[in-house]
Amino acid sequence: MPFDFDTPIARRGSGCLKHDRRPDLDPFWVADMDFTSAPPILEALHRRVDHGVLGYAQAHEGLIDAVTGYLRDRRKAEVPAGQILHFSGLVPALSLAVRAFCKPGEAMMTCTPVYPPFLSVHHDAKAELISVDHLRGAEGWTFDWKAMEKAVTPSTRLFLLCNPQNPLGRVFTAAEVVQLAEFCEAHDMVLVSDEIHCDLIFDEDATPHFSALHLPERLAARTITLLSPSKTWNIAGLGYAFAVVPDDALRQRFSAARGHTLADNNALSYYAAEAAYRHGEPWRLELMAYLRSNRDLLVDFVKARQPHWDIIPGEATYLAWIDCAGMATDKPAAHFEQKAGLFLSDGTFFGWPRHVRFNFGCPRETMLRGLEKMAAAI
């Protein structure tokens, strides 16, 4: 029986960040899909709630088996359970990495545009931020290696990678990831690879995901790989992520910086993650077919209807990055809020003004209605 991604779900008034932060606007902003989670996840949560006791929790055997099985079967990586650290979210893990490896006055590096926390977690360590723009080439977005070499400093300790890239939707090739890891090795940096969108790739044959888990041993020794089921199975509100850190010394240093600053995982998050990794694949496959159609319709709409915009079709994620530089405004998100009643993600917060990010993880009619409102506002 096919899953239903077309029926709108009334989320307003449920304490939902996406819909209730600005209930006067139609929301296409935060990376949160308007679909119910996979049935096996909801069933696992019901069973856990029916147990009746929701005390302090730890990663149980079933979760650990599901995570290591997922890494083996989907990511083709044999990872001992002892190399895995569990977190209540991926952003806290990013913050922890900066605090673990950067002293005050030292620097971390990343490439823009990028998920906004990448551009602010350095404050948690009183570190400096070095950002370099991604470069648009013949094959799409890539790294500006010359600019990165020019920008890096002897006190740069950490590089934050987003792969697949949010908001660009780019899936970096094995050659690019290896070259980035070699760049980090040459400048004695730890590479933190955020791979939260790796199960949201539209064509895994054409653009396979190369995980940092597959780097050569000498490069993997300075690498932390961050993963989570939250974006793929729409369970971000439950708060679960994990890190794979192969090197013992690096893992100890990373974990030791935690202190008492990070919240414990809640009792439900572990069971939702276990169900997603064990039983969520049929739902994921149908989701990706639906999102692929949404992506294609959105790109066709932009190219056919809006000469003021530019877009490169994303290879992954349910987030479209739209260049609005052709519009007669340098604040397109504010323009669409005022003229169309839409809540879009402002490119300024990703490091690139005059762009917007549009979340198409919603029923198709909802997406098309939002696009029509954008077109009518120009």
Listed residue (99, 212, 116, 129) closest to 166, CA to CA = 116
Structural domains in the chain? Answer: 17-30+281-376 (3.90.1150.10), 55-279 (3.40.640.10)
Q: How far apart are CA 377 and CA 208, in angstroms?
A: 38
Q: Where are the beta strands (DSSP E) in 237-326?
A: 241-244, 319-323
Q: Where are the beta strands (DSSP E) in the chain?
A: 26-28, 84-87, 107-112, 128-133, 135-137, 140-142, 156-162, 190-194, 223-227, 241-244, 319-323, 342-346, 355-359
Please give the model's pTM, rounded to 2 decimal places.
Answer: 0.97
Q: Are 326 and 309 in contact (CB under 8 A)?
A: yes
Per-residue pLDDT of the chain (378 residues; tens, 9 = 90+): 589 999 999 999 999 999 999 999 999 999 999 999 999 999 999 999 999 999 999 999 999 999 999 999 999 999 999 999 999 999 999 999 999 999 999 999 999 999 999 999 999 999 999 999 999 988 789 999 999 999 999 999 999 999 999 999 999 999 999 999 999 999 999 999 999 999 999 999 999 999 999 999 999 999 999 999 999 999 999 999 999 999 999 999 999 999 888 889 999 999 999 999 999 999 999 999 999 999 999 999 999 988 889 999 999 999 999 999 999 999 999 999 999 999 999 999 999 999 999 999 999 999 999 999 999 998
Q: Are 253 and 97 in contact (CB under 8 A)?
A: no
Q: Which residues contact 20 (CB under 8 A, 6 or more apart)?
A: 11, 12, 13, 14
Q: How is residue 246 written in tokens?
A: 């192969």
